[in-house]
Amino acid sequence: MICYASRTGTRRNLAALRGRGWRLLVSRAGVWRTEGFPNYAIDNGAWADYQAGRPFDEDAFDKLIDRLGAGADWIVLPDIVAGGLDSLQLSTRWLNRCLSACPTTLLAVQDGMQEEHVAPLVGRNVGVFLGGSTEWKLATMERWGAFCRSKEVHYHVARVNTERRMRLAAASGADSVDGSSATRYAVTLPKLDNWSRQPDLLLKAAA
């Protein structure tokens, strides 16, 4: 799996991430710097907004993808945390705009969404970003992995900050994950990284 860590300005932690080959996730809600990493992705910042109880800043997101979108691995389409079909409607509205800035976008699936809701949208340039509430994410992770394999699209699992979640993400067939634990605590990075590099073992552990 490819691992992304939330952007940090801490030199020690950045050096640790570089040493392990991790990539950065640059959020609209954070500082817009790639810290010299050749590979990074763009998060729309909806989770941070949700936690802070504030509305999504569409103007700022538009400026961010103009500034960094061309060099990103992918962009997460705007979404509403646990927002179901309202979130899907928002994501759909932004699809062409994000694809104009970056060749690959990820559609954030949220509580209440079903495979048939997103099947018409995913494809070569549109993958799946497993968001939603923690409970829903854990309950549906394997199901969304199977869907992405059937459609042959990129599958990303968000907020993977423990070894257990890393195991579950790998077992579900995730192509990539992100988290903030390795960003904040360099000491957790080796354990998370080791688990991300053992897919066969992870699949057996989750069986």
pLDDT digits (tens, 9 = 90+) for 118-142: 999 999 999 999 999 999 999 999 9
| Per-residue pLDDT at 162 | 86
Residues 6+ apart with CB under 8 A from 54: none
Average pLDDT, the chain: 90
- Confidence band, pLDDT 50/70/90 cuts, at residue 182: low
CATH superfamily, domain at 2-206:
Phosphoenolpyruvate-binding domains (3.20.20.60)
In this predicted structure, the answer to whether residue 198 has a pLDDT above a threshold of 90 is no
- Would you kindly state where each structural domain of the chain is located, as residue ranges? 2-206
Q: How many angstroms separate the CA atoms of 114 and 146, rounded?
A: 13
